[in-house]
Structure 1
Amino acid sequence: FQALSYERLQAALSDLFGLTLSQGGLMNLLQRTQKHFRSGRDEAVSTLRRATVVASDETGVRIEGSNAYHWVFHSAEAVVHQASPTRGAVVVREMMDGHRPAVWISDRYTAQQGHAVAHQTCLAHLARDVAYAVETSDDPVPWRLQLWLRSVFALAEHVTDLAASTLAAKRRNLDRQLGAILATPSRCDLTRDLQAKIGRARNQLLVFLAHPGAVEPTNNGSERLLRPSVVQRKVTNGYRAMWAAEGEAAIRTVVDTARLTGASPFRTILKTVGA
């Protein structure tokens, strides 16, 4: 869980406890231990398949010398990590097993679209695209989009303090403002591409206002949950076998789900292994 390579784990066990273990011995220990996390992972998956709001994201990883992906799905009650050789929508369909949440939160990647009644596009991703356009173009449209996004983020900070009627009125006002910005003519190719991109996602930008406190305007939660896997990738350069990738995903599933209730990773791992 601490993203130690076999070599560093050998050194740590030797320095701290005087234990001398081969890398093959460490591998056997990890492989035997992973079975204890299967039931916890299955429970988290079952909880996820009942959630009304689900967020997802993925990052690249090397497994058995080939390009693969580490996915994460999470709700208010569960976090599920999944190792997969593909980035396709089949991963989402298999994970949800027919369950269709009320809202899905993700970026604009096609494979993560169409899995819920409504979709909240990550506004942080769009904000980065808009910031790039502001820096590289003299066109005023990206600047207006940046101001619009700032208004949305400011509203998001107080979304639980406002009445439903107030949020509905503010949503209509923001949508009118966005419509005017998207309709503004421009001779800048970057601006037109940005307008088209945001226009395609227009009905997915303010969904969080209809679900105050339950839906986030960004997918930063998924990115935070993926960050340890990115560190793991940089430290170890990937996994030698699929069982290792699947085993770590199961451990992270159990630990991250327990964290939602305040449990520490170390105590969760001890409790699971000792069960």
Structure 2
Amino acid sequence: MIAQRSAFARADQRLAQDFAPTYTDLQKRLVQSKAVHADETGWRVGGQPAWLWVFADEILSLYTIDPHRDHAVVERILGQEYNGVLISDCFSAYDPLPYKKSKCISHWLNRCKKLIEESGNRYAARFGKQVADLLHGALKLKERKSTISAHGYRVACGRLEAALDRLLAHPYRQADIKRFAKLLRKQRAHIFTFLYVDAVAPTNNLAERELRPAVIIRKTNGCNRSFKGANTHAVLSSVIRTAHKHDLDFVSLTKQMLQHPQPVAMAICASDPSPPARSG
């Protein structure tokens, strides 16, 4: 017996429908998270440009595929009143969002490195090193937080803030410095957020890691033929990656879910992934 590709596609779609309540539950849990990492990568649906987004924290990953790369996608997932911290790069789509934000320090350090090594200008290289030194100092301070007093930590944070403000107050003329300083000023309020919120990691590495499986699929399978297939991909990827974070076998989870006559939300993030028992 030879199975047709369409048969596998229909089976995946039915499975995604069954896991739809679980996907909705993951989204609700994500909105309650103190810090959410977000990132996006290019995708194609039916041969047309689209974007695959990931929203993640330490216990779950949620994917969505959308034809747009703007803040409306983030609001669709997190809502307009998300109270945690959104961790991302400096892509402009995140700017209009009303949330508290933190910008990935790795991206800042990469920009510093590029300025130091590729600008060909000693003033630009010096500026890049000055910014990098402050960022490295912030990383070390975050690591030392548990070893120093609360007052000492506040004083050290204040010194870093003041040093960065002094650096950005200068009216730079060199083009590379002006561009970088302009971006730093624009994102000034979000550079050191990780120093003040324990749940906020300095980098957005978590979201970038969660995008890697999607990048591999993009290179090997060519994305999705329709938005129905894109939704199937988003739902199943979310369940699979979240289950992996909790050392749960996806096949066993699927068998457990299919034992119920109607689709139910599997509590993947709980110690027991079974859906809560109904009273009465």
Q: Same fold (TM over 0.5)?
A: yes
TM value normalised by structure 2: 0.83
Partner of 2:110: 128
The alignment status of 1:189 with 2:175, answered yes or no, reads: yes
Are 1:55 and 2:41 counterparts?
no
Percentage of matched positions with identical amino acids: 24
Q: How far apart, CA to CA, are the structure 2 residues paired with 1:187 and 1:128?
A: 22
Q: Which of residues 187, 197, 201 in structure 2 aligns to 1:201?
A: 187
Q: What is the rounded CA distance, in whole Å, between the counterparts of 2:145 and 2:236 in structure 1?
A: 35
Supply the distance in 1 between the matched residues of 2:258 and 2:175 (Cα, whole angstroms).
57
Deviations for 1:130-163, whole angstroms, at most 9, x for unmatched residues? 1111112322111211222222222333444444
Which of 220, 226, 238 lines up with 1:235 in the alignment?
Answer: 220
Between 216-225 and 103-112, the greater mean CA deviation after superposition:
103-112
Query: What does 1:71-86 correspond to in 2, within 5 Å?
Result: 71-86=53-68
Task: Tell me if the contact between 1:167 and 1:209 (Cα under 8 Å) persists in the aligned partners.
Answer: no
- Partners of 1:235 and 1:217 lie apart in 2 by 32
Match of 2:238 in 1: 253
- Normalised TM-score (structure 1): 0.84
How many positions carry a matched residue from both structures?
Answer: 256
Structure 2 unaligned residues grouped into runs of 5+: 261-280
Q: Does 1:22 align with 2:40?
A: no
How far 1:75 moved relative to its partner? 3.2
Q: CA deviation at 1:175?
A: 1.1
User: What per-residue deviation string (whole Å, max 9, x for no partner) do you get for residues 211-259 of structure 1?
Assistant: 12x1111111111111111111111122111122111111121222333
Corresponding position of 2:210: 225
**Superposition RMSD in Å:** 2.2
Task: Return closer, same or farther for 1:98/1:185 CA change in 2, 3 Å cut-off.
Answer: closer
Pick which of 137-146 and 83-92 moved more.
137-146
What is the CA distance between 1:267 and its match in structure 2? Answer: 4.1
1:202 offset after TM fit, Å?
Answer: 1.4
Alpha-carbon distance change, 110 to 160 in structure 1, aligned in 2, over 3 angstroms: farther
Q: Contact 1:100–1:115 (CA<8 Å) still a contact in 2? A: no
Cα shift at 1:32? 2.3
Q: Is the 8 A contact 1:45 1:80 kept in 2?
A: yes
Cα drift, residue 38 of structure 1: 0.8
Identify the residue that residue 35 of structure 1 maps to in structure 2: 17
Distance in 1 (CA, whole Å) between partners of 2:107 and 2:77 is 24
